[in-house]
Chains A and B, each alone.
Chain A
Amino acid sequence: MLKQNDKILMLVFALLVLTGPIILAPFGAGYPDLLQRFAIFGILAVGYNILFGLTGYLSFGHAAFLGVGSYSTVWMFKLLTMNIIPGMILAIIMSGLFALLIGFVTLRRSGIYFSILTLAFAQMSYSLAYSVLTPITNGETGLQIRLADARILDPKNDSGSLPSTNLFGLEMNDTWRTTFMGMDLQFNVGFYVCAFILIAAFYVSIRIFRSPFGLILRAVKTNQNRLMYTGINTKPYTLAAFVISGMYAGLAGALLASMDPLAGAERMQWTESGSIVLMVILGGAGTLLGPVLGAGVIKYFEAIFSRINDNVLHEWFDILPGFLETFMVWIIHPFVGKGWSLTLGAVFMIIVIFLPGGLMEGANRINKRFGKKLKRSSADDAKTPAE
């Protein structure tokens, strides 16, 4: 009965992602930079969800893997080629190894101690990137590409300008623009590269969710004791989940660097790790679609709300009488512009209090109210994969 569900979910998801530039244009989010961020942080959240959503291990260190991925990729740009493939491969390998090391140490503890350990590790990586590892990370300035870099696989560059990242000649910042019904649509190569990788990442995550491996990861979350006395060694399972999600983060870091070839230590800061946790919880931990949704919402707030300033607000409330206009602007002012994170915080609190299962729980409730069961909702699927 539910057999077709995953296929439908996959198709709908792919369609939504690929038509992103059209769907999001009316919301003012149809420009390449933001679309790329949606996709990249979607990948990050999908990967984080494999760890947190399935096993319940709350890691505060995933930004470190993001950073490792970015640095690896930029180094590939400097040494080998501006093609993004070698960079992505190295990023996945390096972040995987790094996750193996960190996971091996931190997974000795669970619950809050695990969170603190990962946090400490991420902060250590951040500080190292800033100080001791300057020869590799270029410290505060961040790692950038230069004209003088070797790039042994690329033909000699005589143009005098920095080469741009590409995928076998397709440049990441190539954009095809068109106008449709008064909307400015931008189809960007970089976005589509990220989008296809996001779809692939999503597919892998569905397979993991539906596999015996995924089942045992979910069992880790609900009762680790029982699992141990059922003859299952939980450590390699949690470690595998940790490494997989670390590799996802590394891939996301690689894409960040591919879209904009520089890597800085601030990408590894713990607040970044925190925002990954927010994305997943906001969307719905343990659901398939939730994390992507959460990542989208947070990046949207970051991009759109932060651009609303007092002038825009005055425009909005132009029709109101003078004193009311000033009053409304005064009320809304702290929530927009530089205060966008205040709005995000408020939204996050409302969702966690009223919809503990995140946006996906909201979607499910709405669907139940209208009498239809949302078959493609992963929250339901996850509970009855047996059918």
Chain B
Amino acid sequence: MADRKRFDVRALPGLSFMAGSCFVLLYLPILLVVIYSFNAGNTVSIWEGFSWRWYQAAWNNAAVQEATLRSLMVASIASVLATAAAVLAALATTRSRGFRGRGIVLGLINQPLMVPEIVTAVGLLIVFSMIKVATGYQGIGYVILAHASFCTPFAFMSIRARLQGMDLSLENAGADLYGTPVRIFRHVTLPQLWPGILSGWMLAFVISLDNVVITEFVKSAGQDTLPTYMLGQLRRKITPEINAISTVLLLISIALVITAYLAGRKRA
């Protein structure tokens, strides 16, 4: 029992195995997506040799490109809106004395989570159509607003969990030194909060990127996102063309991650 002291809390037994299988689980299907994007055949299940043809097809398919760019745009704007709103709301609900209606506020912000998508979708169709007819504006703003609203609770949960768990002594010290709330937030709270914001924003971004049902109901003419475009293809057939697009997106995001990582390391 003498070597008990050497126990490293970071290495619980079986932990690495489970964490490893978690990553395998996550990446195995993705690996398939990448492999089949190079399939010479027409399907995503029968391998018929290597070919670039689906990359060429995707490059020549304006509809897929437009839908992909539109998805990225909607996800970027909606996730940033949602995250910003969530940070403010999380501050208001954790860094202030309990107030009347706090339960209602929490319930309201989390409400989009509790409603099945199809319900929100039909409800939004009705509400937004009235606004569209009344104002004559049919732009992409409706889709962005809808996405921002169901992204908000995802960002909120992450950020609030982080704020709740944070050590208040630093913030209190800041307050004792007569720092203004804005300066305390900027220099004390925000740096500690950053992992929460990051995970909240990433959640919001991918949730928006994946949304099918609500977008399908809210979209007006010419507003197909990648998922609704694919939904339209579901009845006919999925070609490796979509795999090719996904692979390109994956490469771009890997490049972004590596850049961010290297940039972060230089500063550290």
Is A bound to B? no
A interface residues with partner B (beta carbon < 8 Å): none
